[in-house]
Chains A and B, each alone.
Chain A
Amino acid sequence: AQSVTQPDIHITVSEGASLELRCNYSYGATPYLFWYVQSPGQGLQLLLKYFSGDTLVQGIKGFEAEFKRSQSSFNLRKPSVHWSDAAEYFCAVGGQTGANNLFFGTGTRLTVIP
């Protein structure tokens, strides 16, 4: 069965510190993987995606993520967090064929302190 686990419900980091948000997935076929960010009252904005090829993908706003098939993980990283990065982050997995529905994790809320 398809599922996404984001083990950290809430993370607090200082501005300028590095960030890593964890994501583990379960999917029966080759996955498409996504990270979305949601600010309060806003829809979901795509940060980055992995379909194939280089397992380290670069996204917007200085974010990157690494696909590790052996660990079924797709962790999101940023070397230096900005106050504007405070938001909810969702990892999602989808399929390469058929309906391509997305299965979302429960999200990680990021708080940035000055």
Chain B
Amino acid sequence: EAGVAQSPRYKIIEKRQSVAFWCNPISGHATLYWYQQILGQGPKLLIQFQNNGVVDDSQLPKDRFSAERLKGVDSTLKIQPAKLEDSAVYLCASRPDFNEQFFGPGTRLTVL
């Protein structure tokens, strides 16, 4: 069974630029999460989707971050414009009903 796929794996941008991350969850997993993991910290939830609907985006900085999950499968997370403090690893995870979350390898973002 293929795992959660993310791309790109690494991205370096300058502040005020925009960036987008892509996630392909495990087939059949209805729930998808985006986490932000700042160096030295644990992952923090940004947004949760159930199929193509948003369940929780209370921690998403909506002035600069946006996310969508078209057709309830793939998802993209966008930052526009990026700030220095957005430097982090962005993790995507998916979950079948009532089970643990499966994580992708993450995208490491560096904002200069």
Q: Are B105 and A106 in contact (CB under 8 A)?
A: no
Compute how far the CA of A46 lies from the CA of B100 in the bound complex, rounded to whole angstroms.
Answer: 8
Q: Could you tell me how many residues of chain B have their Cβ less than 8 Å away from some Cβ of chain A?
A: 24
**Interface of A (DSSP majority class):** strand
Given contacts A44-B103, A99-B55, contact A4 B91 (CB under 8 A): no
Q: Are B43 and A44 in contact (CB under 8 A)?
A: yes
Q: Are B43 and A34 in contact (CB under 8 A)?
A: no
Which residue of B44, B56, B106, B108 contacts A104 across the interface (Cβ within 8 Å)?
Answer: B44
Residues of chain A lying within 8 A (CB to CB) of residue B33: 101
Q: Are A104 and B43 in contact (CB under 8 A)?
A: yes
Compute how far the CA of A41 lies from the CA of B6 in the bound complex, rounded to whole angstroms.
Answer: 13
Compute how far the CA of A87 lies from the CA of B6 in the bound complex, rounded to whole angstroms.
Answer: 21
Compute how far the CA of A75 lies from the CA of B105 in the bound complex, rounded to whole angstroms.
Answer: 25
**On chain A, which size bracket covers the interface?**
20 to 34
**What's the least CB distance linking A19 to chain B, in Å?**
19
Q: Are A104 and B100 in contact (CB under 8 A)?
A: no
**What's the least CB distance linking A113 to chain B, in Å?**
22
Residues of chain A lying within 8 A (CB to CB) of residue B41: 106-107
Q: Are B45 and A43 in contact (CB under 8 A)?
A: no
Please report B residues at the A interface, Cβ cutoff 8 Å: 4, 31, 33, 40-45, 48, 55-56, 91, 93, 95, 98, 100-106, 108
Contacts A36-B103, A43-B91 aside, 18 further interface pairs with beta carbons under 8 A come to A34-B100, A42-B105, A42-B106, A43-B4, A43-B106, A44-B93, A45-B103, A46-B102, A49-B100, A99-B55, A100-B31, A101-B45, A101-B56, A102-B101, A104-B42, A106-B41, A107-B40, A107-B41
